[in-house]
Structure 1
Amino acid sequence: MNKSYALNLGLTTAVLSIVLFLLMAILGGGMILSFAIGILALAFMIALPIIFVRKQRKANNGIISYKDAFLTSFVGLAIGGIVYLAFSFIYVNFIDTTYLDKMINQQIETTMSFMQGNVPEEQMVETLTEIETKTREGFTLPGMLKNLGIYLIVYAVFSLILAAIMKRNPVIVSTSEDIIDN
């Protein structure tokens, strides 16, 4: 595996993820914006590994092993995911300590508007409390490590599939001189 492709993929993924995160923080989120940025982030997470594995394959005369394709994709995505999670942890816990409260309040307001009149009051309070608890837990160190574990599993599965599609083995051509007669 050429480590520069994985490292460049990781850094590119990290920078784009951080930019999207900051866009959400600056613009104030909201359901439609969150959905749009989530779709954009997913598109980047699919497209970038494909681009970098293709570049690596092209640089190697159109040949890339399954292992190299997998490692480039997985290691690159893992680096990007780790950098992004570290940044978001630092941002939420030290830079903008009000961000998490604002995000939780938006989630609660949106969920309440969907639930009012359709769900009993007890169930609504229980659901909203659960949303707040899980969101807060997601930005603690154990929550971030749990998210990282989930990310790594998703990255591994995606990278396995991508490697199967992108691998190209060298073509072995036999000539009549290679055949030995007894």
Structure 2
Amino acid sequence: MQAAIKPGLTMGLVALAVTYIAYFIDAGLLASGWFALIALVIFFALIIYFGKEYRTELGGFMSFGTAFNFSFISILISGIVSLVGQILLFQVIDPSLPQVLADITFENSIKMMESLGQNPDSLPPDTLDEIRNSTASSFTIGGQVKNFGFALIGYAVIALILAAILKKRDKSLDY
């Protein structure tokens, strides 16, 4: 656990820095799929780097369980730091940002529906309002905390994948 705190804090602060830089460049980037992909690549690169560094500290070998615990706790700490920073961004720094991002996300959803052959005009107005409201609610404090709760499942899956990548067995102990 102790070994995962510093990498988790570092990854969280890097994620916040990337988020805030994107916000200052163009707030619309925060609703972009490309931004999410770039952030994910940076995130994976950092956790693999820190995981390999930790494995080296352990003597070059790490069990799957140790790698999973290190990865999950690091990701969890990073997620908490990011959550706090995003709540500050959305609620304190720029309270109008959630509505801007909700509108962009809604428009992207409509475009995606059109690209898949569905005519959004054929949907009942209540359904469109429900989509718009659920999109907007995901940027509230409650929505962010709820999304973080669901993200824990994703964090566990990511940690399993990373543990499989980071583990290294000492084959000299097999005999």
Indicate the structure (1 or 2) with the bigger Cα radius of gyration.
1
Partner of 1:172: 173
User: TM-score, normalised to structure 1's length?
Assistant: 0.78
In structure 1, the residue corresponding to 2:61 is in which secondary structure? coil
* Contact preservation (8 Å) 1:53, 1:166: yes
Alpha-carbon shift at residue 109 of structure 1 (Å): 4.2
After superposition, residues 4-83 of structure 1 pair within 5 angstroms as 4=3, 6-26=4-24, 27-29=26-28, 34-83=32-81
Q: Once structures 1 and 2 are overlaid, which stretch shifts more, 124-133 or 69-78?
A: 124-133
Q: Which runs of 5+ in 1 are unaligned?
A: 175-182
* Contact preservation (8 Å) 1:10, 1:76: yes
Alpha-carbon shift at residue 39 of structure 1 (Å): 0.8
Q: In the TM superposition, what whole-angstrom CA distance separates every residue of 1:86-105 from its partner, at most 9, and x where no partner exists?
A: 21112211221111122223
Q: In the TM superposition, what whole-angstrom CA distance separates every residue of 1:32-78 from its partner, at most 9, and x where no partner exists?
A: x7122111111122222211111111122211122221111100100
Aligned residues: 170
User: Root-mean-square deviation (CA), in Å?
Assistant: 2.7
In structure 1, the residue corresponding to 2:78 is in which secondary structure? helix
Q: In the TM superposition, what whole-angstrom CA distance separates every residue of 1:12-45 from its partner, at most 9, and x where no partner exists?
A: 22112212222332213159x7122111111122
AA matched with 1:94: V
After superposition, residues 25-174 of structure 1 pair within 5 angstroms as 25-26=23-24, 27-29=26-28, 34-111=32-109, 115=114, 119=119, 121=121, 123=123, 125-170=125-170, 171-172=172-173
Q: Which runs of 5+ in 2 are unaligned?
A: none
In structure 1, the residue corresponding to 2:123 is in which secondary structure? helix
Cα distance in structure 2, aligned partners of 1:89 and 1:123: 33
Alpha-carbon shift at residue 126 of structure 1 (Å): 4.0
In structure 1, the residue corresponding to 2:59 is in which secondary structure? coil
User: TM-score, normalised to structure 2's length?
Assistant: 0.81
